[in-house]
Structure 1
């Protein structure tokens, strides 16, 4: 199958929103009941996604487009934080914000359990604490925020191609790479050098357990010896 990787635009969000419902169909019933949700709720959630995308810097999200059909088959997006990022919300406030818009089908207990685990683990891995042990900043980093593929196009290397493009476009930053992975996604990230540093397990309202793994990848650093007429100098460090 031939496909082209292009920048993701706000005009693409309705299509990627519909694709996400298929990509995450297995887990969505833990967060929404009944699922699929109503057309009214779908419209509200889509508006929320459009609002989030408007705040994204340009060229930090990509799509893979099937050349034959013109349909989007996979997407990836990330954020680049060149300075430590102040923490402005408690875990509870961050989870509450993530539950907006609060549609009637929302399963609050399951949603809260999953996203509390995600936010707590995130603070443990990339948080900077003050003298009282309170997380006040997040470390400078490149954070992979989303990556998913249409179910009919999975296991064809498209997601991996987006990952390689992501690494290519961010390798000059010299920043740590950070992401949160599902159990299915973890082996894919490990193959390209991400290291699992923490796993958090959470339990949905129906008693089923799941987990999220927090992963990092250090920037590549190569050292070269500088030679001049005066002999060897100290190594120079270059971000690869």
Structure 2
């Protein structure tokens, strides 16, 4: 289906449950094994917390998006983008205090292994700190496509949506990808910046997860 047959819309208070359900479905074979490593399935209370956190994020200006088929309204994909910028509108870069505040970890869920949680998010935070420093950027925290709608272009539309806004502001974009997802992001100008690894066998699991931190240079910037 051509990209013109899709529509991108912001998540609203009414559509938070749709986004949460899609996220949970797509993450089930991978990320959920990290987030909910004790049992791989969150409780209703945890799912309610996820929904509440997203609703709170909407109020704070986090950009949650849905991609639907225009003709049917079928939900195909979703994403979470954030605009990381200085608190001072006149500043070109953030202070290190702002950087550290932005990297504060959320509390683990009751179903989480605290060691695994601190390991993976500690690595992600170190990547952002080391690679991006105090510079402003757009970050794609989440990209999920329904398993029945892969390779239709919806994920690419959501990637392009954030990249266009990063270019408008003249800042770089950043994300953490699986090796499988790396080629897709490369098509939009993202370059590998750091490899990361989470060995869940240390925390009672049986899998090793690999991630690639990827950076897209700011418009007009020479690749580093």
Band of TM-score, shorter chain = 0.7 to 0.9
Task: Choose between structure 1 and 2: higher strand proportion.
Answer: 1
Map of 1:98 onto structure 2: 106
* Structure 1 residue corresponding to 2:151, chosen from 151, 155, 166: 155
- Name the count of aligned residue pairs: 207
Q: Distance in 1 between matches of 2:177 and 2:81?
A: 14
Seen in structure 2, the aligned counterparts of structure 1 residues 89 and 98 have a Cα distance that, compared at 3 Å, is: farther
Indicate how the Cα distance of structure 1 residues 177 and 38 shifts in structure 2: closer, same or farther if over 3 A, else same: closer
1:66 to 65, 69, 72: 69
Classify 1:215/1:48 alpha carbon distance in 2 versus 1 (closer, same or farther; 3 Å). Answer: same
The answer to whether the 8 Å contact 2:16/2:55 transfers is: yes
Deviations 1:132-188 (A, max 9, x none): xxxxxx212222232221222122111012222333333222212222222222111
Stretches of structure 2 that go unaligned for 5 or more consecutive residues are 87-91
Deviations 1:65-122 (A, max 9, x none): 1234424321233233264223448979956x323xx443222222222111111121
1:171 has 2:171 as partner: no
Instruction: Mark the structure with the bigger radius of gyration.
Output: 1
CA RMSD of aligned residues (A): 2.7
Tell me the TM-score normalized by structure 1.
0.75
Aligned to 1:79: 82
1:5 aligned residue: 8
Give structure 1 stretches of 5+ with no counterpart: 128-137, 223-240
Q: Where does 1:1-240 land on structure 2 (aligned, <5 Å)?
A: 1=1, 2-27=5-30, 28-32=32-36, 33-56=38-61, 60-80=63-83, 81=85, 83-88=92-97, 94=103, 97-99=105-107, 102-127=108-133, 138-204=134-200, 205=203, 206=205, 208-221=207-220
TM-score when scaled to structure 2?
0.79
Identify if the C-alpha distance between structure 1 residues 208 and 93 changes in structure 2 by more than 3 Å, giving closer, same or farther: farther
